[in-house]
Amino acid sequence: MGQIYSNPMQVLAEAQPGDIIQFERGWNQSHCGIYAGNGKVIHPSVEDCDRRQRGPPRVIESNFSDLLQDRKAKINNHFDQKTKPLPSDEILKRTRGYNFGKYYWNSTSNHFAAEC
């Protein structure tokens, strides 16, 4: 699953902790996060960051429905075909402790999800 955007409630029903959830954003853009369970998604956010200092995004946990914003979503675990995924508890641990490092300006939510 994950090749096409699906009914959001179907995605939420099928998602397992550690799955990459990709949210459609229009204009061929998307936002990715890691499903944490109980309707929560862990993802990078620049909201509430001090834009004057241009610091790295913060990793936050949001409700699936808040990220959806009347758009579509999909489970996108495409890396599972290339490498064996880590156990979900390890993925969630890496996600919550993710460090963007000094090259954060070149990182996207897609990089975040893939590296966790």
Q: What are the backbone angles phi and psi of residue 7, rounded to the nearest 5°?
A: -55, 125
CA distance 59 to 6: 25
What pLDDT does residue 105 have?
47
Strands 40-45 and 29-37, how do they pair? antiparallel
Rg (CA), the chain: 14
Residue type, 61: E
* Domains along the sequence of the chain with CATH: 8-109 (3.90.1720.10)
Which pTM value belongs to this model? Answer: 0.78
Residue type, 33: G
What pLDDT does residue 40 have?
95
What pLDDT does residue 64 have?
92
3-state secondary structure of 17: coil
Q: Which residues of the chain have pLDDT under 70?
A: 1-5, 46-56, 79-81, 99-108, 111, 116
